[in-house]
Amino acid sequence: MISARSIFIGLLLLAFPLLAADPGWKPLAEDGLHDPASPAIGVLQEPAEALSLLPPDTAGNRVSWVRALRERYIAPRTNIFPETNIEILDMDIIMDQTGELPLVLFPHKPHTEWLDCANCHDRIFVEKVDANPINMFAILSGEYCGQCHGAVSFPLTECNRCHSVVRRTFTGKPGVQPKPEPD
């Protein structure tokens, strides 16, 4: 039987070329957010001027923020209070409830380079593999990964960035992935 959910996901796939069309960086006066009559328009830096200097990406606001941080194009302050403890966690999790699609690889490292654990645990995700009934319909409705992806981080039309592990060639087990031996 074809469920409403698969029709929804199917329609999203059809809309993909439209959604993925490159919008470019709109001038502030034309972005629909700033008041074109405001005197600040002439003072504020234009997105194209600032963002074109950062490592490029093909989706979202066309900046690879992961690279921008790692390659030190930007150096945002990590904490406001000196007592805040910064923890970067290198732990990949593979999720296999993906139907016909490649498996999902969730990498903790690039997330914890930007975010504190408390952004996700346990408000969005219980801190235990398979303890969350994550599915694509909920994500597209703005839950789980969809609380950020499609809002502040790369858009949900980039299926293969999350569904990045080919099922046929994956020989490991889903869940927390063993770290590769250091060479």
Interface with ligand HEC by CB under 6 A: which residues? 5, 9, 12-13, 65-66, 87, 89, 93, 95-99, 101, 104, 106-108, 110-112, 114-115, 117, 119-121, 124-125, 127-132, 134-137, 139, 144-145, 147-149, 153-154, 156-159, 161-163, 176
Q: Which is nearer to ligand HEC, 37 or 118 (CB)?
A: 118
Number of H helices, E strands in the chain: 6, 3
Using CA atoms, how far apart are residues 168 and 148, in angstroms rounded to an integer?
Answer: 29
Q: Which is nearer to ligand HEC, 7 or 101 (CB)?
A: 101
| Cβ at position 99, least distance to ligand HEC in Å | 4
Q: Is 13 or 74 the residue whose CB approaches ligand HEC more closely? A: 13
The DSSP 8-state label assigned to residue 87 in this structure reads -
By beta-carbon proximity to ligand HEC, the closer residue of 30 and 87 is: 87
Smallest gap, in angstroms, from Cβ of residue 86 to ligand HEC? 9
Scored b (16 or more CB within 10 A) or e, 117-151 reads: eeebeeeebeeeeeebebebeebbeeebbbbbbbe
* 27 Cβ neighbours under 8 A, 6+ residues apart: 46, 47, 48
